């Protein structure tokens, strides 16, 4: 019987909106430049797979970086995505256009909870199921967003890489210690196969992989090792 659920945060409970592959075509259209959403989506996957070593390292330790370092990473990462487009247009200074585009992305995008999160968290609380966040991101933004939505008090603890072990997969041990439950009594829900799937399974936890329809899929579970859901409310079928 499931007595506890731990949630990954990004792309499980929260997301950045508008999505970059939707936003960049809209911004470029204002300048008379046409780039399709499909080009952006494919380009984003290629960029992620070919990040420079310094950014790859920062991405791997993103949750342990200071706020200033995280902001700098986001801007540099978006610049690479913009450079990838190889924009050519005689009406604009291309470098000036790219700088404008990166700044607009940073200004416009914000992180919000998915629209199925608040009610799901409240229902789980009514069922007396313990709830944790177990994330590779930094605790400050997570706590702020949960507080804004008045659900922070429904969580036993926010387990993050800046507060506990710097590697997310090592924090399943923290979850077990703090919840005082058996692995068979805990369900972890997340979107990433390595850290949310294999990482949790290594500690014998139950696992659900969430694949929200609006999000890019960076890695497929070709062996179908894990049960998969497309929205958070479907987890009730597994408790």
- Give pLDDT tens digits for 118-129: 999 999 999 999
195 and 226, same domain (yes or no): yes
175 and 59, same domain (yes or no): no
Q: Is the pLDDT of residue 90 over 60?
A: no
Residue 205 or residue 92, greater confidence: 205
51 and 9, same domain (yes or no): no
CATH number of the domain where residue 218 is located = 3.40.50.1000
230 and 124, same domain (yes or no): yes
| Residue 149's pLDDT band (cuts 50, 70, 90) | very high
pLDDT for the residue numbered 83 = 85
126 and 228, same domain (yes or no): yes
pTM score, whole prediction = 0.90
Of 18-22, 31-35, 89-93, the poorest mean pLDDT is in 89-93
121 and 224, same domain (yes or no): yes
C-alpha 222/C-alpha 79 separation (Å) is: 32
Q: Which of 79, 108, 137 is the last residue of a domain?
A: 108
Q: Which of 75, 108, 141 is the last residue of a domain?
A: 108
- Give pLDDT tens digits for 132-142: 999 999 999 99
pLDDT for the residue numbered 218 = 62
189 and 116, same domain (yes or no): yes
> What is the residue-averaged pLDDT of the chain?
92
> Based on the structure, what is the number of domains in the chain?
2
Q: Which of 73, 91, 108 is the last residue of a domain?
A: 108
72 and 137, same domain (yes or no): no
Of 49-53, 136-140, 169-173, the poorest mean pLDDT is in 49-53
Instruction: Print the domain residue range for 222.
Output: 4-15+112-238
């Amino acid at each position: 019987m499931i007595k506890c659920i731990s949630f990954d945060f990004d792309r499980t409970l929260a997301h950045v909106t508008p999505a970059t592959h939707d936003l960049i075509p809209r911004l470029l259209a204002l300048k008379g430049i046409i780039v399709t959403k499909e080009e952006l989506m494919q380009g984003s996957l290629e960029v992620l797979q070919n990040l420079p070593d310094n950014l790859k390292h920062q991405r791997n330790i993103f949750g342990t970086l200071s706020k200033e370092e995280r902001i700098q990473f986001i801007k540099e990462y978006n610049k690479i995505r913009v450079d990838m487009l190889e924009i050519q247009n005689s009406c604009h200074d291309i470098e000036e256009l790219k700088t404008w585009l990166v700044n607009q992305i940073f200004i416009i995008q914000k992180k919000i909870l998915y629209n199925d999160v608040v009610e799901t968290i409240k229902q789980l609380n009514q069922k007396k199921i313990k709830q944790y966040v177990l994330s590779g991101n930094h605790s400050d933004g997570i706590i702020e967003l949960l507080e804004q939505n008045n659900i922070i008090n429904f969580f036993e603890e926010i387990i993050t890489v800046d507060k506990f072990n710097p590697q997310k997969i090592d924090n399943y041990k923290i979850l077990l210690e703090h919840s005082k439950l058996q692995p068979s009594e805990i369900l972890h829900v997340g979107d990433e196969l390595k850290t949310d799937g294999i990482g949790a399974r290594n500690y014998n936890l139950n696992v659900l992989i969430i694949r929200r329809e609006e999000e890019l899929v960076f890695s497929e579970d070709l062996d179908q090792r894990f049960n998969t859901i497309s929205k958070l409310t479907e987890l009730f079928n597994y408790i």
